[in-house]
Amino acid sequence: FSGNEGCFVLYDPDAEVWTIYNKALAARRISPDSTCKIYSALCALENGFITPDASFRTWNKKPHPFPNWNQDQTLASAMKDSVNWYFQSLDQQAGPDTLEQFYEHIDYGNHDLSGGTAEFWLESSLRISAVEQVGLLEKFYTNAFGFEKKNIQAVKKTLEISASGSMTLSGKTGTGIVNGKTVTSWFIGYVETEDNTLFFATSVRNPSDPASVTASRVTLRILEAEQIWR
């Protein structure tokens, strides 16, 4: 973590073994930021606002600081480039009642959506710990909630990052910014092997250098050192 405050959580479901670095921080609930987009997508798919084959949304021409946001999007492109407006449009279409029912059903962190449909996951009311992130990811992956299999698979496909031999790395980053300062860097996901799937979550708090001390870089260093990913 290069001297920064951070935590790392790894769960091996086959062995039922948890590996946790910095247990105090790993148990502390903080804003999920863009890692929440996994579940925003799933909620929209389950409610039919989009489908695996029809997820197109038109950009409203409002300029954004990232060029890739300033264009029409599909679920795949929006997840890849973490396009806020796309997922905010899904959440706003769902409305507070549908969202609250969904986040209660999946038992997401503190379930608090009082920050509003456009902001609840952006350094606002909704909070979740790294340990909870991993537990929820495993339930998402195994479809413990009994959602439509095609919807689970559609979200999984958007999370795929890289393949190496028989292994696949999937995940989602998240960055929390308050008053122009990066306060949180997240990376959550899983590594699929031929005979097992390992789930992880990493967060870095108040990184000294947000451009280089990212949760994704920290995670890859750990996974490579532990010979989980190469």
Amino acid letter, residue 151:
N
121, two tokens: 């996951």
Find the radius of gyration of the CA atoms of the chain: 17
CA 22 vs CA 26, 38, 178: distances in Å: 6, 25, 24
Q: Are strands 160-164 and 17-21 parallel, antiparallel or unpaired?
A: unpaired
Residue 191 region by backbone torsions, left for phi larger than 0, else alpha for psi between -120 and 50, else beta? beta
Assigned token pair, 70: 């300033």
Annotation marks residue 34 as catalytic: yes
In one letter, which amino acid is 71? Q
The catalytic residue among 34, 55, 170, 203 is 34
Query: Containing H/E element for 183?
Result: strand 181-192
Backbone angles phi, psi at 39, to 5 degrees: -85, -25
Q: Active-site residues: which are they?
A: 34
